[in-house]
A = this chain, B = another copy of it.
Amino acid sequence: MKAIAVLTSGGDSPGMNAAVRAVVRVGIASGLEVSCVHGGYSGLLAGDIRQMTHKDVSNLIQAGGSVIGCTRCQEMFEDYAPGAAANILKRRGIDGLVVIGGEGSYRGAIKISQHGIPVVGIPGTIDNDIPGTERTIGFDTACDTLVDCLGKLRDTAASHNRTFVVEAMGRNGGWLALYGGIAGGADVILIPEVPWTNEEVLTRLTARAASGKTFHLVVISEGAGRCTDLAGWLQAQTPDELEVRATIPGHIQRGGSPSTADRLFASRCGQRAVEALVGGRGGVMIGELDGKIAEVPLEKAIEGRRVIDKQLFELALALA
């Protein structure tokens, strides 16, 4: 292994830059040439690959998003694309690739590796739902952002005796809603993994009101239903008792300077990704297992989605 490249792909997440920085610096410290691909797989297919120095990644660990871009790339699903991508890397003398992203990104990565370029994945997504790892880069920061939003809404809810229904990101899983909801002190948390009905929500809110609670925070995961629908239904049922508002923080949850934990996890992943490539262990994703950095076959990382811990959901019920 003489030269490697790193790219970010799929939805951006806070901490991706910290991972890129670690790949570059640990790579250089390991005697490798390290390049960044700009613009994800699209940039790779277009040959937008730039060699980096130690200094090129200065002041990057704190930056949100991905400074090397992470455009989604339809072209990568074409049959010829993975081979073309591998050839471009070979022509540049690059013999290893680090892909920071999620499931879709890994599918492309696996195909590229079948054309003779060892690839290592790093889990970068705020969704926290990649199988084979207990943590993904950006999830912790997204939780902090959602919790901050809930804290602000709590001020207004308490002042006006209101009910807020807040939509958390997560089309396929309730991770962000559950973690952010518990930490933000939400009274009701709705996630796709646990069935629920409008009526049950209403029952819980009226029980809370009966016990003297004057305001309520409901967090609903994107994948569990429509925030505005639920808010509208609740309001229609209780025109006099509750004053219901819907709030959708949306993409705000994706941005921001990464938390300490995300910066550290990203840095460790970057370090281990270089070690894996140098050690001839392509085809793995770096993740956290049993609280420790580990290598997992990339194939495992695309087998469905990691589901939330039901015990944590029970905790949410006990605390609300």
What residues make up the interface of A, taking CB atoms closer than 8 Å to B? Answer: 8, 11-12, 14, 16, 21-22, 25-26, 29, 54-55, 58-59, 61-67, 69-72, 134, 140, 143-145, 147, 149, 151-156, 158-161, 164, 179-180, 182-185, 211-213, 245-252, 254-257, 259-261, 263-264, 267-268, 271, 288-292, 312, 315, 318-319
Contacts and interface: CB of A to CB of B under 8 A. Distances in A.
B290 A260 contact: no
Given A12-B156, A144-B260, A155-B14, A267 B182 contact: yes
Contacts of A55: 211-213
A255 B217 CA distance: 14
A58 B211 CA distance: 13
Given A62-B151, A252-B249, A319-B267, A183 B260 contact: yes
B12 A256 contact: no
A62 B158 CA distance: 15
A223 to B, nearest CB: 18
Nearest to A28: B318
A42 to B, nearest CB: 10
Contact of A155 (B151, B250, B254, B271): B254
Nearest to A245: B251
A14 B153 CA distance: 12
Given A155-B256, A288-B291, 14 more contacts: A22-B319, A26-B315, A62-B184, A65-B155, A65-B158, A69-B159, A69-B161, A147-B263, A153-B252, A182-B263, A247-B248, A261-B261, A271-B318, A290-B292
Contacts of A54: 211
A248 B160 CA distance: 20
Contacts of A22: 315, 319
A43 to B, nearest CB: 11
B185 A255 contact: no
A238 to B, nearest CB: 16
Contacts of A140: 259-261
A296 to B, nearest CB: 14
B29 A271 contact: no
A246 to B, nearest CB: 8
B260 A159 contact: no
A106 to B, nearest CB: 19
Nearest to A288: B291
